Structure 1
Amino acid sequence: MDKKYLYWLFPILWMGIIFYSSATPYEQQDMKPFLGESVNLEFLEPLADEVRFTYNESIVSIETHGVEGIVEFFIRKGAHVFVFFILTLLFKLAFDKTTEMRFQNQVLFSFLLTAAYAIMDEIHQGFTPNRTAYMGDVFLDSMGSLIAVVLLIIIRKINWSK
């Protein structure tokens, strides 16, 4: 076997980490106790008091979640963006090292594979106790992927202009 195909281990391992996380019940991932005990978030109360929106048919506010809950919400949603941003970069690296595909096709297929995995991940998460599948999270995952694609295009344009 050609060693260059080992580059595919990176996205595969990363997908395994995502799969493991999605298979973990919410109670084992709950950050609110840690945040409440370890971090003084009182300074955020005036700002968090203004936060109120609906996500997945639930109100997110200081009244419904507390400051720790709002901070946890944004950490968790930021993790969606970050994790799928990284997955897109890993797919792009694997395509770059193992195929003769043009750059445009590499980023397109990296985005499409990441979006497809985001959909499968949400479906999988729907079978995990106390977790729900939500298309809004697929949107966040895809936004992370899109940010990676835009960054790759910007870097390529910068390198071409040198």
Structure 2
Amino acid sequence: MGLIFFFSSQPYEQQDLRPTMNLYMNLDFIKPVLSLIEFTYYGETINIESRGVDGMLEFLIRKAAHLTVFFFLMITTFLAFHHNTGWGLKGKLIVSYMITVLYACLDEYHQSLTPNRTPYAGDVVLDSIGGLVGVLLILLFYVRKSTEKR
């Protein structure tokens, strides 16, 4: 949570990956793959024509980071409850997922207070999906573990 808060506190200019990517690598090799991708996000068409190769790659990295960070938040919250409570699996999963989604909402609110950052409900959806993948992975682990005991 502290790491998420830290990154949400930074203005976009501090997080812009494009200068670093362009400094260390020629991104032309990925252009054929990225040119196949086009979608609308927050009312904006996302493609290499509108963002350039570096902008498109940065966008995808940033959105993948949303999924990944909240996936790990879900897993670590679950593990904290698993090791510190006597709750059943269902209770630990529900409370952990609720905390993950609530923190995603608070993170977007926090971004609204940060210069040059824009809160967006779609990012909460991405964060929630990351948490849901964590739930599914935990369930898969428990199902597999219970079938191995038989």
| TM-score (ref. length: structure 2) | 0.95
Question: SS of the residue aligned with 2:133?
Answer: helix
Partners of 2:34 and 2:76 in 1: CA distance: 35
Q: Given the alignment, which residue of 11, 32, 48 partners 2:34?
A: 48
The alpha carbon displacement at 1:60 in A equals 1.2
Partners of 1:122 and 1:131 in 2: CA distance: 9
The aligned counterpart of 1:6 is none
Partners of 2:36 and 2:81 in 1: CA distance: 45
The aligned counterpart of 2:83 is 97
The aligned counterpart of 2:126 is 140
Alignment of 1:86-125 (within 5 A): 86-125=72-111
The aligned counterpart of 1:58 is 44
The aligned counterpart of 2:14 is 28
Question: SS of the residue aligned with 2:101?
Answer: helix
1:59-103 deviation digits (Å, cap 9, x = unpaired): 211121110111101100000000000011111111111111001
Q: Does 1:126 align with 2:133?
A: no
The alpha carbon displacement at 1:34 in A equals 0.9
Q: Given the alignment, which residue of 74, 78, 81 partners 2:67?
A: 81
Question: What amino acid is the match of 1:29?
Answer: Q
Partners of 2:3 and 2:31 in 1: CA distance: 33
The alpha carbon displacement at 1:123 in A equals 0.7
Question: What amino acid is the match of 2:114?
Answer: T
> When the two structures are aligned, how many residues end up with a matched partner?
148
Partners of 2:112 and 2:81 in 1: CA distance: 30
Partners of 2:31 and 2:79 in 1: CA distance: 42
The aligned counterpart of 1:157 is 143
Runs of 4+ off more than 3 Å: none
Q: Percent identity?
A: 43
CA RMSD of aligned residues (A): 0.9
The alpha carbon displacement at 1:50 in A equals 2.7
Q: Which runs of 5+ in 1 are unaligned?
A: 1-14
